[in-house]
Structure 1
Amino acid sequence: MINSTPTLLVTPSAHPMSDAIRAERMTNPSFGRIFTDHMVVIPYRNGAWQQGELKAYGPLSLDPAASALHYGQAIFEGFKAFTQPDGSIKTFRPAANSARFNRSAQRLAMPDLPEHLFMEAADALITIDKAWVPKNVGESLYLRPLMFATDPFLGVRPASEYLFVLFASPAGAYFPQGVKPVTVWISEDFVRAAPGGTGEAKCAGNYAASLVAQAQALEKGCDQVVWLDAVKREYIEEMGGMNLFFVYEESGKTRVVTPELTGTLLSGITRRSLLEMAKGLGYEVEERKLTVQQWRDDIASGKMTEVFACGTAAVITPVGHVKAKNFEFTINNGENGKVTMALREALLGLQHGTIADTHGWMHKVC
């Protein structure tokens, strides 16, 4: 065992995957099914984070009474590492993920994880498993940090013990056959989050509660569900686990609009990045509420020309068709929009190092 840093103990895997098997598994990997050789675990107890360890990827041992299994104190994040033209590896805005991780922790009465531990864990894992980072544009190494309560206690209260875990998965191109617009279902029967709830937090329960609506969308022949607000059921919030954007063309100007953050939808890091990048491409940007009726009217009038969703996994996904109980409509003839694709190419270019990082968003790992 060697100490690579003052806080992380590094115990390399005794049986790392061979180059040949790794290369085979990294050929067109489906998202989230293949994992690298190592992971990081850092326990929290006695009111403090303990020494963490980078070790071989493998199962975790949990007491059946671990409170996360009963009361849902569990949060996670997702971000990516990209190979650069010079062979180096960089992550995209990891400090922003660290900050959001802690906001989620605070909402679920969990302890903050200091940013330096979050960054150290990510850098150490990527460095030891750098052979797992794909090299093609559109491909990446997906990092999944999570924290959950491990206290073996059945009382309903914040736990006193937690475990932070970080592992990684090579991700191929999200659209291997090319980017194609998706069809979405507007959910009127279910809501994702309510005011005062956990909508802003990236917690496990939010995603569990969304699955029945996603299943309904699939039954209707749709790829994803669009969530509405919990109070009036008329304001557009998110698409699945992604933020939505609406493109307007009026009086020779292009305006990119996204629902404002109200506490019920996730503050996406890709969302925040695209708002800034859109300005750099000469587009106007706006954060405001938008109703389903406005969506229909603005598509019908031609003012709204494109719609897309964004998130870490897919980067940008065009929306081509919308269905609901009593209506449906098509956007941009079901084709990819020019603004959508311009933003997608700009973001991918920045992440892969083919476009200058004027924002300072890329963090060099190794």
Structure 2
Amino acid sequence: MSATRRLGVGVLGAHAWAEHAHLPGFAAYERCRRVAICDVVPERARALAERFGFERVYADAREMLADPEVEMVDVCTPTGTHRELAGAALAAGRHVLCEKPLALSAADAFGLARLAAEKGLRTKVGFTFRYSAALKQVKRWIEDGTIGEIFHVHGFQQNSQFLDPNFPLRQYDTEDPDGPLVPASIVGYGSHLVDLLRWLAGDFRAVSALMRNFVPERMVRGKEGLRRVPIDDGTVAAVDFRSGAQGVIQTSFIAIGNYPGIEIRIYGSKVAVVARLVTEFGVAETLHLARAGEVEFRPVELSADRYPPGTDVRTPWRELYYRQLARDWTDEILDEGPAENTFLDGAMSQQMVDAVVLSHRERRWVDLSEMPS
């Protein structure tokens, strides 16, 4: 590892998620050179640049992409802009980290993955929870055979952010109160679960899903009064893995519990594990394990070196996981290490999300081979 080489980082977007996750992650790692922040509201970018030690500010993405000292571009902007900005950054010859989803369709996401491969550039998706120490340990147990053959994989997400109809919902691209259900929880949080289950247990074969709206009228950001917004508040899906394992995915905007509240359960032939990425009583995550023949799960304590320097299991989850993401991503580029969590992974996640939506709309099992790739 080079002690002097630093990666020139440019961040597109100066909103809340950049402020609470991305920027603290880069600021905490000495191998990152904080070159620039770009936002359409320059004052917002300037305030965060001063706070996190970035050298300069741009109001136009094209100008930042032309900056020769920006080697890696972090796309941390609203969902509808991801495909265009990530594509522009790749076209400019920059390595790219992009928040999920990469695009609004799997076809467009696969297009970005192909563009990166053609240009020989590295990519990363903001799948924050891959950087959980607990889930990394589960991944090790799968790879070294500790868990054995995987039988069941369950991914649950509890989040009651939008249970209260007076809590403003982000805007969705629909104005038809009686139109088809708009994918929401399966995109906003389901994409994380889909990626985690595929990362841990392998590729999917088929899915059967049901989406439902439970809160018919809500406040919407930028609009007045309650209005009907037909979004999916909750999705549940049965999953057939290519390995033969069975899976369940459940996402929700209205399930009472801690945000983001992700829980992964894996039941194997030798061991069962439960990883809860749920902040409870100041602890960001817990890990439990049971061996064949046991009827009780026991806690697993991870050593301090499993967490980024300056953090521990009581660090707020956004900073805890994104510090690790920033370190892994920077080291991957500077040290030319193995590529992980790439745009291809983002496209595969979007492919499954699209299959879930299609399954709901057509009320049938959908084979993943039917989907764009």
**TM-score interval w.r.t. the shorter chain?**
under 0.3
Instruction: Name the one with the larger helix percent.
Output: 2
TM-score, normalised on structure 1?
0.26
Comparing both chains, which one has the higher relative contact order based on Cα–Cα distances under 8 Å and sequence gaps of 6 or more? Answer: 2
